[in-house]
A and B are shown apart, each in its own frame.
Chain A
Amino acid sequence: MTAVIEAINLSRWYGHVLGISEVNLEVQAGVTALLGPNGAGKSTLMKIVTGQLKPNIGEVRIFGEKVWNNRHIFRRLGFCPEVDAFYEELSGFEFLSGLLSLYGFSQAECQKRAERALEAVELTEVKNRKIKSYSRGMRQRVKIAQALAHDPEILILDEPLSGLDPLSKRRIIKLIKELKGQGKTILVSSHVLPEVEALTSEIILIHQGKILARGDIYFIRELIDTHPHMIRIKSPQFRELARILAGEDYILDISFRPSEQAVIFETHHRDHFFSRLNELILELSLIIEEITSPDDNLQAVFDYLVGK
């Protein structure tokens, strides 16, 4: 199958700062997540894909056509930037209609499409309110609405779930899944693994401007599983908990934090660990105040992948 988005040997730097380096990429229809910590080069890559930045080396092709200086391709592409990009004095409806008019739709068509897009993101009720009065979730949804209002085949969504409350996140995840069901190609960036898990299983790992790995979510999970997990449990019975779990063969290391009334376990098998922990809580009526994973983040995986 021909790739919908194809990046060939892309490099872009800002003075002495490297944005992305030798990125080769093929994105097919469906949802693909670009996963990487802040500063990894996700936004740079997205800006190159959306034709807003010129790569120093290499090129991007969409449906086989070059992107740079090819404004016609933008009819088939919708971009939702990470940062808020609004005219605060306009209402959501006016904002969308105004942007739609840049595509050459008639006024009536602009209004119809704006209505439809606002409906898709469940903002019909507040469409005539000024954007400056919108909540964080509403603003995010308006940004997505402006990206899909002209019915593009490709959607580039830069951190669409960032800073949202759980309800808004759920709404947007649902919407992205619906758009996927409509056959669109969606490239979405994030630095939060659980968010991405909810969206897609197709993942591209980017770190320090380079594509580290590509595969489905199970691949990442495997990497995480081969990389020891640290689980910190805060409990008044932390010593007892440590004594019981010390005998389990999947526990690699135990360290105590008496001042915090906490114990940190290191394990290769997270699932086994949590399953046993659940049993213990029920059997011994353990009081657990807090469970955190000090390294349960992408950075730990990236550090592991780059051999830090």
Chain B
Amino acid sequence: MFFVLEDHNKNDYPLLYQRMFKLRKEIFADQLGWDVKLSDLGEVDVYDDCNPAYLVWTNTEKTILYGCLRLLPTTGPTLLYDVFRDTFPNNVSLTAPGIWEGTRLCIDEKALAKDHPDMGAKRAFCLMLLALCETALQFNIHTLISNYEPASKRLYNMSGAELVELGRADQYGRRPVCAGSFEVSKKVLQNMRIRLGVSHALLNNDFCNDLKKTDEPRAA
């Protein structure tokens, strides 16, 4: 089940919040070695206090977290603007209604493998992107800005989301961190659905069984 968590419904899902921050620590600090701020809660930064929306992927009961991502409007304070602006002199200061930042995209591969043993991590990543595209379309977002590791660009492209690299920086982790943007439109959504072999809406829709069709995105 993919759905959106915001301040107004966060008290309904305290366990998902707890798990999300822990998972972010496991992925970004432990695995990727990014220079992120850690606390007892896990990886939490000031932007988590800026009233973000989180796209989460859970089991049907909404008790086990498979993946998450944080969404912030670029009209307000954002991570990429504040942190990466100086590093990418040209280009990550995009600020307008309709342009949102999606950061901290991560997947809990262990939790996923337990409940969806036949789904690979790559497909899971692509399904998150597809759900992200749907979410964006629903909420008047026409462009998503994101940061990612160079290797992930291939995954974006495999999913049918055409990621444009805006710049990259070296000093944040073991590998360079890139900033990029991708267009959101009905056409892009259609393209992603075809690539991923998904024919129906993912957001707020319980469909787990349909997701197992193929393990890898189809070749371009």
Chain B binds chain A: no
